Amino acid sequence: MSEFITYLVTGIALGSSFALIGSGFVVVHRVTRVVNFAQGSLAVLGAMLSASLLAGRLPHVVGEMVTVVVCGLVGVLVGVVAIGKRGTPPLISLIVTLGVSMLFSAAIIWLWGQDPVSPPGLDGFTTILGAEVERQRLLVLVVTLVAFAGLSLFFSRTYLGKALTASASNPFAARLVGIDVRRMGLVAFGLSGVLGGLAGVLVAPSNALSFYSDLPMALGGFAAAVFGGLVSPLRTLVGGLGLGVAGQLTAGYLNGSYQTEVALLLMMVIMIARSRSFAHEEAK
């Protein structure tokens, strides 16, 4: 039983990071129709940067917050490259984000090397139903829930959040009322950078990340985003948590190397199921 609880909590923590990365995909896709494949790289950047800042004796919380802000700014830069030129089709922007992701990998190797990095996190363990659980993993879940609540409030209560929602809902009408839809796209990229950076900062103390972690992180996040139909942050959270738990249970009871395959398989099943439901709706 305690083994199951450990896998469950570990899965929830990892799934939280998928949910954060996935919500970054969702935020960008809703506004720009672009799938930002540099999203996993931003999580890796977050891990590396926070490790360096904390090693440079910046206190906890401050180091993590600076990291998240920097990742947000880098996210805006990714946006400038991907959608900066007016009229760039979403498919071209997607290819650009793939290129940026490769560039990130090269830059991360150049700056931090190839070894996995794990910044210090919250020390100690807590006992839940007889299982020893790292406090850091519980922190990941709490921060993720707070982040999603904040995201929800941002979109529903703030003027900027409503403008972002409007840009996603009806870009023509948004332009008509004077909203600069391209600028909103850059705001969305910035927000996705913040979410990606936050995922990296939170997950790396428990799961060391290296330059090649970007693909599994991006795949996990994208699978969660697909579960949310690339439009719903809340369903992305559910998808991310489900994916994380499924992956950890697979790793614990079967084989750790199957984790990515589980993510891909789930993504494929969800996509097939969704395409059938879309076809059913169209038939109606």
Partner 1 sequence: MLHITDLVVRYGSAVALDGVSLEVGRGEMVALVGPNGAGKSTLINTVSGMLEPASGSVVVEGTVAQVPEGRQMFPDMSVEDNLLLGGWSIRNRQLDEVFDLLPDLAGMRRRKAGRLSGGQQQMVAIGRALMARPDLLAIDELSLGLAPIVVDELAEHLRYLNAERGTAVLLVEQEVTLAFRLCARACVLEAGRVVVTGPSSELAESDAVRKAYFGDLAELADVEVSR
CB nearer partner 1, residue 14 or residue 164: 164
Q: Is 169 in the site for partner 1 (CB under 8 A)?
A: yes
Per CB under 8 A, the list member of 61, 114, 115, 159 interacting with partner 1 is: 159
Q: For the CB of residue 20, give the shortest distance to partner 1 in the complex, in Å.
A: 24
The number of residues that bind partner 1 (CB under 8 A) is: 15
Q: Is 162 in the site for partner 1 (CB under 8 A)?
A: yes
Q: Is 172 in the site for partner 1 (CB under 8 A)?
A: yes
Which residues lie closer than 8 Å to 237 by C-beta, 6 or more apart? Answer: 19, 22, 23, 144, 148, 224, 228
Q: Is 201 in the site for partner 1 (CB under 8 A)?
A: no
Q: Is 158 in the site for partner 1 (CB under 8 A)?
A: no
Q: Is 176 in the site for partner 1 (CB under 8 A)?
A: yes
| Of 195, 179, 274, 231, residue with least CA distance to 29 | 231
Q: Among the candidate windows 24-32, 101-109, 117-125, 168-176, which touches partner 1 by CB under 8 A? A: 168-176
CB nearer partner 1, residue 71 or residue 168: 168
Residues 213/215/216/219 CA torsion (nearest 10 deg): 150
Residues forming the site for partner 1 (CB under 8 A): 159, 162-163, 165-166, 169-170, 172-179
